[in-house]
């Protein structure tokens, strides 16, 4: 469903590749976590799948398409098969919950009747029944992320990509979002999620792909977060003796403990975030939604595959292939 063949991505002007010779296959229906320290290449991997970035070398297949042979003109159509969720929600602030979700369907030409059925259905599925007429600033962070997820899945894409979707949320709210993503995955959608949240990864026990400096250093069928903070250069050589090894073990263990303590999920059942019960309070204490100007607005549409980028040209007629 998603296949990387010896993929390297080196951004212009950088010393080392962001993604370095990756081979990877994600099967239909999988739930995959991408983990790794900041800068290890997680977001770049997702952007390559979306064809927002192009590999410097190597080949990427997504849903039966060789991305290298999809013309710029066809990219928006290709992207419609991929739902995308971001850390910062990226909702349109001057549209209601209903309008935010409906907008996706309007732009791709769905009929009014389809929209009138699909939007309430998906809002119910994500737990936002009764909130259709709210504006984003009247919602808690968790609710805003639910709107973003509703928008991402309303067109039933076979793949959902999530880049730090719980990064702005407290642990209890994050657990609710993860339950929702699990439910979407159980419905057959392949989910690939980049995250720093050890507690979530440890709790879910799904496939974990760990990146380090653009390379895959671990690919575990059913794994935990692991120690993504290890800096290899700090590893003492055997010749340095037992005391150095003991010192290293102590440092690594302290780092692991600190990371787990700051990121661990409570094992209590999910409760709605307190702020969710008072949208006016929530608007004050939750992460702010930036008000995009017209250019941002169009940028969002492009990244969601709703509109052709101004820079996109090309006119070949090959089809965007069938879903595999
Ligand atoms: N547009 C860009 N131009 C130049 N370098 C980039 C660009 N985007 C990412 N990089 C570099 O590529 C490397 C990988 O970045 P990437 O954002 O993929 O990592 P990440 O694992 O997602 O990090 P984080 O967890 O902080 O989001 C980093 O060294 C980063 O500085």
**Which regions in the chain score pLDDT beneath 70?**
228-324
Domain membership flag for residue 291: yes
- Is residue 68 in a domain? no
We report the CATH number of the domain holding residue 110 as: 3.40.50.300
Helix (H) or strand (E) holding 6: strand 2-9
With a 6 Å cutoff on the Cβ, whether 41 touches ligand 1 is yes
Kindly state whether residue 60 falls inside one of the protein's structural domains: no
Residue in 169, 147, 168, 150 with CA at minimum distance from that of residue 160:
150
Q: Is 40 in the pocket of ligand 1 (CB under 6 A)?
A: yes
- How far apart are alpha carbons 244 and 235 in whole angstroms? 9
Report pLDDT for 116.
97
Contact 48, 19 (CB under 8 A): yes
**Does residue 77 lie in a domain region?**
no
> Could you tell me how far CA 183 lies from the centroid of its own chain?
16
- Residue 161 tokens, joined: 């990509």
Ligand 1 atom nearest the C-alpha of 13 is 4
- Whole-complex ipTM: 0.98
Domain count, the chain: 1
Flag whether 4 is in a domain.
no
What pLDDT does 161 receive? 98
Q: How far apart are CA 165 and CA 70, in angstroms?
A: 28
Q: Is 54 in the pocket of ligand 1 (CB under 6 A)?
A: no
Is-above-0.80 flag for pTM? no
Determine the structural domain holding residue 157 and report its residue range.
28-52+82-303
At 271 the pLDDT is 33
Q: Is residue 1 part of a domain?
A: no
- Alpha helical stretches, state H, the chain: 42-49, 75-79, 97-107, 112-125, 141-153, 171-186, 198-204, 242-263, 279-285, 294-303
Q: Is residue 94 part of a domain?
A: yes
The residue contributing the CA closest to ligand 1 atom 6 is: 11
What tens digit of pLDDT does each residue of 32-88 get? 999 999 999 999 999 999 999 999 999 999 999 999 999 999 999 999 999 999 999
The 10s digit of each residue's pLDDT in 281-295 is 232 223 333 333 334
- Does 315 fall in a domain? no
State which ligand 1 atom lies nearest to the alpha carbon of 36: 21
Tell me if 262 CB under 6 Å of ligand 1: no
Cβ-based neighbours of 161, under 8 Å, separated by 6 or more? 46, 49, 50, 82, 83, 84, 85, 192, 193
């Amino acid at each position: 469903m998603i296949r990387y063949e010896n993929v390297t991505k080196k951004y212009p002007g950088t010393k080392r590749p962001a993604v370095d010779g990756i081979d990877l296959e994600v099967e239909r229906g999988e739930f995959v976590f991408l983990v790794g320290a900041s800068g290890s290449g997680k977001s770049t991997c997702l952007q390559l799948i979306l064809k927002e970035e192009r590999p410097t070398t190597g080949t990427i297949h997504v849903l039966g398409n060789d991305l290298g042979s999809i013309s710029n003109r066809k990219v928006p159509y290709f992207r419609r098969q991929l739902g995308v969720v971001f850390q910062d929600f990226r909702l349109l602030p001057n549209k209601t919950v209903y309008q935010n979700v409906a907008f996706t369907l309007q732009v791709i030409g769905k009929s009014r009747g389809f929209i009138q059925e699909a939007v309430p259905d998906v809002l119910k599925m994500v737990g936002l029944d009764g909130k259709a007429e709210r504006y984003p600033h009247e919602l808690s962070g968790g609710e805003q992320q639910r709107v973003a997820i509703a928008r991402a899945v309303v067109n039933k894409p076979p793949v959902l990509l999530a880049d730090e979707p719980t990064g702005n949320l407290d642990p209890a709210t994050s657990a609710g979002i993860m339950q929702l993503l699990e439910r979407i995955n159980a419905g057959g959608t392949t989910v690939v999620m980049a995250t720093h949240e050890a507690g979530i990864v440890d709790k879910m026990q799904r496939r974990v792909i760990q990146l380090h400096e653009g390379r895959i250093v671990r690919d575990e069928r059913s794994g935990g977060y692991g120690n993504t903070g290890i800096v290899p250069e700090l590893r003492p050589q055997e010749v340095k003796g037992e005391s150095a090894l003991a010192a290293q073990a102590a440092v690594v263990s302290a780092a692991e403990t600190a990371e787990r303590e700051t990121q661990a999920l409570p094992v209590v059942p999910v409760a709605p975030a307190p702020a969710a019960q008072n949208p006016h309070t929530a608007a004050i204490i939750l992460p702010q939604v930036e008000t995009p100007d017209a250019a941002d607005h169009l940028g969002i549409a492009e990244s969601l595959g709703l509109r052709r980028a101004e820079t996109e040209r090309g006119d070949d007629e090959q089809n965007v292939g069938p879903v595999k």
